[in-house]
């Protein structure tokens, strides 16, 4: 029997350039709300908005795709209300592309409030205590109502540090749930359903999941179940195992990854798409992302520093405000978090653009060397896992 298909004309991927040494590549994803150039970092808007930045500002920074959370949007304000607003695009006044997650991650983040069975995930609402059953069909129904350009399958998510039979159970259930999600999608010609590779840190389980899921004709694949506190040496090996076995002609989305070094390394390992709350969350704690790590502007050492966060950054915050101003503002005004969020998102998007440009110009390995030198100063400070991961794809660090 033929494997289920969810493929329609809603997504196409063109590989524009590939690194001659590593697995890095520059692609163009054609989606219903316009093209997206990869590698791409996608900011996370849990409830239809980014914390600390408006949709217009995000668009002004060049963002062409961001995330919404199916679980939280399904709870509040609810899919029916959003559907009346012509979907999540209309509701949040966002003219670019949207990716919605499936709600599966809440199995880990709200583990004390959830119970998993073959039918689905039973949650107790953190808002009012009401019991809710999220099935693969219900997840897709909500995502169809939200009208996202990319939808994620509901998968059985377990902690990345978990071992034992529960990991295997979750992997096989995720395959079965993928088939149910494909069958439930009412708009395959408008909304792209991505599969999520599971299998924990077990190479055999992850390989089996890859073999099964790549038989399904879905528009794209995500690498899930990682970036949850596992050792980085095991993390990167699961990433490269996955990209080795994913089809070249479809996008590869590594979920939950947002640290700059992780992004650079995983692009070298063949990933195209990333998301993480890190840049917005770290802004709320008073830190700005910079090529040499982070700048804690809330600290008193910046009270009389009249330089911008980064003299080489052209974002609205760096063009207009000093470290001293942001330091003073952070002590009493939430506006400081907003200005830092704008900068941090700009930093992530600019990093992606620089990486893409280096791939197009066939100088990605040198870009990586320059990035690592700027980030860590000396080779003795380079994380060993990153050195090993890059060496595995023929990028040696000086």
pLDDT band of residue 329 (cuts 50, 70, 90) is very high
**Res. 9 pLDDT band, cuts 50 70 90:** low
Q: Put residue 63 in one of left, alpha, beta given phi > 0 → left and psi -120 to 50 → alpha.
A: beta
> What is the pLDDT at residue 1?
38
- Give the pLDDT confidence score for residue 7 in this predicted structure: 47
Residue, of 338 and 331, whose pLDDT is higher: 338
pLDDT value at residue 123: 80
Q: What is the pLDDT of residue 80?
A: 85
Predicted local distance difference test score (pLDDT) of residue 126: 66
For residue range 13-62, list pLDDT tens digits in order. Answer: 999 999 999 999 999 999 999 999 999 999 997 555 567 788 899 999 99
For the entire predicted model, the pTM comes to 0.95
Residue 126 contacts residue 113 (beta carbons within 8 Å): yes
| Residue 50: DSSP 8-state | B
- pLDDT value, residue 2: 46
Q: What is the pLDDT of residue 351?
A: 98
Please identify which of the residues 149, 155, 272, 275 carries the catalytic annotation: 275
Average pLDDT for the chain: 92
pLDDT greater than 50 at residue 350:
yes
Looking at the chain, the whole-number percentage of residues with pLDDT higher than 70 is 92
pLDDT reported for residue 364: 98
d(CA 254, CA 144): 23
Catalytic residue among 101, 156, 262, 272: 101
Q: What is the pLDDT of residues 132-186, one digit of tens each?
A: 889 999 999 999 999 999 999 999 999 899 999 999 999 999 999 999 999 999 9
pLDDT digits (tens, 9 = 90+) for 75-117: 768 888 888 888 999 988 999 999 999 877 655 555 566 789 9
4 pLDDT band, cuts 50/70/90, is: low
d(CA 95, CA 185): 23
Write out the E strands in the chain: 12-18, 25-31, 34-38, 40-45, 65-69, 97-101, 114-116, 121-124, 131-134, 150-152, 192-197, 220-223, 252-254, 273-276, 288-290, 293-295
251-305 confidence digits (pLDDT tens): 999 999 999 999 999 999 999 999 999 999 999 999 999 999 999 999 999 999 9
Q: What mean pLDDT comes out for the span 218-235?
A: 96
**Active site (annotated) includes residue 275:** yes
Tell me if residue 262 is catalytic: no
Are the beta carbons of 181 and 211 closer than 8 angstroms? no
Report pLDDT for 46. 56
């Amino acid at each position: 029997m033929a494997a289920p298909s969810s493929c329609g004309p809603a997504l196409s991927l063109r590989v524009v350039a590939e690194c001659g040494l590593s697995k890095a590549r520059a692609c163009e994803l054609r989606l219903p709300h316009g093209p997206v150039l990869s590698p791409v970092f996608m900011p996370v808007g849990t409830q239809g908005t980014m914390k600390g930045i408006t949709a217009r500002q995000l668009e002004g920074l060049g963002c062409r795709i961001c995330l919404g959370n199916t679980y939280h949007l399904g709870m509040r304000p609810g899919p029916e209300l959003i559907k009346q607003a012509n979907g999540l695009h209309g509701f949040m006044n966002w003219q670019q592309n949207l990716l919605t997650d499936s709600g599966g991650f809440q199995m880990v983040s709200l583990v004390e409030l959830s119970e998993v069975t073959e039918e689905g995930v039973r949650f107790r609402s953190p808002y009012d205590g009401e019991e809710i059953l999220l099935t693969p069909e219900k997840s897709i129904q909500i995502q169809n109502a939200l009208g996202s350009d990319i939808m994620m399958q509901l998968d059985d998510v377990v902690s990345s540090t978990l071992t034992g039979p529960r990991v295997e159970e979750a992997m096989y259930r995720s395959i079965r749930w993928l088939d149910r999600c494909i069958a439930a999608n009412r708009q395959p010609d408008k909304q792209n359903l991505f599969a999520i590779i599971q299998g924990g840190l077990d190479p055999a389980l992850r390989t089996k999941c890859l073999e099964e899921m790549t038989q399904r004709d879905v528009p794209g694949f995500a690498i899930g179940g990682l970036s949850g506190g596992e050792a980085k040496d095991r993390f990167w090996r699961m990433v490269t195992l996955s990209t080795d076995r994913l089809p070249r002609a479809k996008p590869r989305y590594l979920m939950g990854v947002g640290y700059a070094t992780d992004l650079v390394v995983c692009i070298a390992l063949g990933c195209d798409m990333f998301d993480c709350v890190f840049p917005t969350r770290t802004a709320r704690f008073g830190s700005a992302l910079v090529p040499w790590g982070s700048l804690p502007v809330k600290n008193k050492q910046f009270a009389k520093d009249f330089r911008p966060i980064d003299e080489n950054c052209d974002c609205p915050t760096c063009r207009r405000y000093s470290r001293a101003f942001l330091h003073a503002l952070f002590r009493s005004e939430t506006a400081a978090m907003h200005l830092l969020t704008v900068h941090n998102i700009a930093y992530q998007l600019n990093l992606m653009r620089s990486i893409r440009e280096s791939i197009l110009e066939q100088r990605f390995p040198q870009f990586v060397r320059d990035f690592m030198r700027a980030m860590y100063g000396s080779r003795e400070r380079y994380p060993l896992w990153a050195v090993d991961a890059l060496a595995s794809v023929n990028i040696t660090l000086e």
